[in-house]
Amino acid sequence: SLQLAQQVCDKAYFDAALDDICSRFLSIPNEEIESMLEALEAQYPAALIDHFKLYIDEIRKFCQE
């Protein structure tokens, strides 16, 4: 509906959703992320794991700002 579309596009709504996503992402301990990346190493090439790690690091950096 138009009302829902306007709510989703509202800056306060967007910022609240982004804050929620960031807080959930940052609540994942580094040890769990490292464990996940190690598990992926068994299935995927090292270059892809490096890409995942860089992507995760950038998200964490963005969320900490």
Give tens-digit pLDDT for 14-62. 899 899 999 999 999 999 999 999 999 999 999 999 999 999 999 999 9
CA distance 14 to 53: 26
What is the pLDDT, as a whole number, of residue 48? 94
What is the pLDDT, as a whole number, of residue 12? 86
**pTM of the entire structure?**
0.72
User: Is there a contact between 57 and 34 (Cβ–Cβ < 8 Å)?
Assistant: no
Reference 28, options 63, 3, 2; nearest CA is 63
CA distance 8 to 17: 9
Burial of 37 per CB tally in 10 Å (0-12, 13-18, 19+) = middle
What is the pLDDT, as a whole number, of residue 11? 84
Q: Say which residue, 4 or 49, is predicted with more confidence.
A: 49
What is the pLDDT, as a whole number, of residue 2? 64
